[in-house]
């Protein structure tokens, strides 16, 4: 692999086979099904998130001609009764402004290059370009890497519960007004104590950070937020976020996409909890 061979572009229907193959390869190496399990219909899930469906987009990173990483963005219909925004109490107007930061996977040989984190930022930018300034993501309580990446980009835990029998966090960020943390209200909660997390979320607290104590135990920081008129671009000054630059070796392509008349939905499932 050389720097000249890596590039990023939006995927089209012609990339579906490669996308399915990458998902199958990554999922085969997942030991804990709680972290991420296969979709009931893998092909339909992928078609939903490939450009032309009107319900989602997928960004892919290629090494030469090989797809090595991808990040999906769902653009759900606000009338969808299974829209994740309902769990977070969004009104009709907010539902129409919401994008879903869905599945993101990286070929095992290319991990450690911050591609997941970068694809997260690229999808947030893509959401804004689509007129969606609210982003929601879902992750397993045991998926520490995804939680770290999401929180580092300003997303907060706004819902804790079970979906299809799986314990899940729902993360949310309003890119137009992310708010600031009220430091006086910080509470530490064990990452596995999802019932106590639920209690604090119901009191208006959000999960804003994660810490590791001397015994290597992970605890989540819950706190109340202060509203303000800041923008997402100011997030490094507002929260716990750590800035990250696009990997210098990746170039970007934005190909023209052929017309596609498929009508599919983009209802997220608790299975794709790996961001």
CB distance 209 to 221 below 8 Å: yes
pLDDT for 90-141, tens place per residue? 999 999 999 999 999 999 999 888 899 999 999 999 999 999 999 999 999 9
Average pLDDT rounded to a whole number, residues 38-66? 89
- pLDDT at residue number 249: 53
Task: Using the CB atoms, write b or e for 38-49: b if 16+ within 10 Å.
Answer: ebeeeeebbbbb
- pLDDT at residue number 230: 46
CATH number of the structural domain spanning residue 100: 3.40.630.30
- pLDDT at residue number 5: 79
> How far apart, in whole angstroms, are the C-alpha atoms of residue 259 and residue 56?
14
Beta bridge partners of 59: 10, 71
Please give the residue that has the higher pLDDT: either 257 or 80: 80
Average pLDDT rounded to a whole number, residues 185-212? 95
Q: For residue 202, is it within any domain?
A: no
- pLDDT at residue number 269: 53
The contacts of residue 99 (CB under 8 Å, 6+ apart) are: 73, 74, 75, 123, 126, 127, 130, 132, 134, 135, 136
Q: For residue 275, is it within any domain?
A: no
pLDDT for 151-178, tens place per residue? 999 999 999 999 888 899 999 999 998 8
- Whether 245 has a pLDDT exceeding 90, the answer reads no
- pLDDT at residue number 165: 86
Q: How far is CA 173 from CA 19, 93, 136, 206, 232, in A?
A: 27, 15, 7, 11, 9
Mean pLDDT of the chain: 83
Lowest mean pLDDT: which of 14-23, 169-178, 239-248? 239-248
Lowest mean pLDDT: which of 21-25, 28-32, 226-230? 226-230
Q: For residue 39, is it within any domain?
A: yes
Lowest mean pLDDT: which of 194-198, 212-216, 263-267? 263-267
Q: For residue 207, is it within any domain?
A: no
Q: For residue 213, is it within any domain?
A: no
Q: For residue 87, is it within any domain?
A: yes
Q: For residue 19, is it within any domain?
A: yes
Q: For residue 52, is it within any domain?
A: yes
Q: pLDDT band for position 39 (50/70/90)?
A: confident
Note down the domain range covering 46.
Answer: 3-177+248-253
Average pLDDT rounded to a whole number, residues 236-248? 37
> How far apart, in whole angstroms, are the C-alpha atoms of residue 103 and residue 275?
5
> How far apart, in whole angstroms, are the C-alpha atoms of residue 131 and residue 136?
14
> How far apart, in whole angstroms, are the C-alpha atoms of residue 205 and residue 85?
17
- Whether 255 has a pLDDT exceeding 80, the answer reads no
Domain count for the chain, please give it: 1
Please state the three-class secondary structure of the chain as a single string: CCHHHEEEEECCHHHHHHHHHHHHHHHHCCCCCCCCCCCCCHHHHHHHCCCCCCCEEEEEEEECCEEEEEEEEECCCCCCCCCHHHHHCCCHHHHHCEEEEEEEEECHHHCCCCHHHHHHHHHHHHHHHCCCCEEEEEEECCCHHHHHHHHHCCCEEEEEEEECCEEEEEEEEECCCCCEECHHHCEEEECCCHHHHHHHHHCCCEEEEEEECCCCCEEEEEECEECCCCCHHHHHHHCCCCCCCCCCCCEEECCCCCCCCCCCCCCCCCCCCCC
- Whether 241 has a pLDDT exceeding 70, the answer reads no
- pLDDT at residue number 54: 76
- What are residue 142's phi and psi, to 5 degrees? -100, 0
Q: pLDDT band for position 3 (50/70/90)?
A: low
- pLDDT at residue number 109: 92
């Amino acid at each position: 692999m050389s720097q000249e061979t890596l590039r990023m572009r939006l995927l089209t229907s012609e990339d579906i086979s490669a996308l399915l193959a990458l998902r199958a390869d990554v999922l085969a190496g997942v030991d804990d099904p709680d972290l991420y399990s296969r979709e009931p219909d893998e092909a339909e899930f992928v078609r939903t998130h490939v450009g032309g469906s009107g319900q989602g987009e997928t960004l892919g990173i290629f090494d030469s001609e090989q797809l090595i990483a991808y990040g999906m963005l769902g653009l759900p219909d606000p009338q969808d009764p299974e829209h994740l925004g309902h769990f977070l109490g969004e009104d009709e107007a907010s539902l129409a402004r919401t994008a879903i930061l869905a599945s993101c996977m990286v070929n095992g040989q290319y991990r450690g290059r911050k591609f997941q984190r970068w694809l997260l930022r690229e999808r947030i930018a893509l959401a804004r370009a689509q007129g969606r300034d609210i982003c929601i993501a879902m992750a397993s309580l045991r998926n520490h890497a995804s939680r770290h990446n999401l929180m580092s980009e300003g997303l907060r835990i706004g819902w804790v519960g079970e979906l299809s029998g799986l314990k899940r966090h729902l993360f949310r960020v309003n890119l137009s007004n992310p708010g600031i943390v009220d430091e006086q209200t910080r509470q530490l909660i064990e990452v596995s104590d999802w019932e106590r997390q639920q209690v604090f979320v119901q009191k208006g607290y959000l999960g804003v950070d994660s810490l590791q104590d001397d015994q290597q135990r992970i605890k989540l920081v819950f706190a109340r937020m202060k509203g303000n008129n800041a923008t997402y671009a100011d997030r490094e000054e507002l929260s716990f976020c750590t800035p990250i630059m696009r990997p210098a070796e990746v170039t970007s392509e934005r190909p023209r996409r052929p017309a596609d008349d498929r009508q599919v939905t983009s209802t997220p499932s608790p299975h794709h909890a790996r961001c």
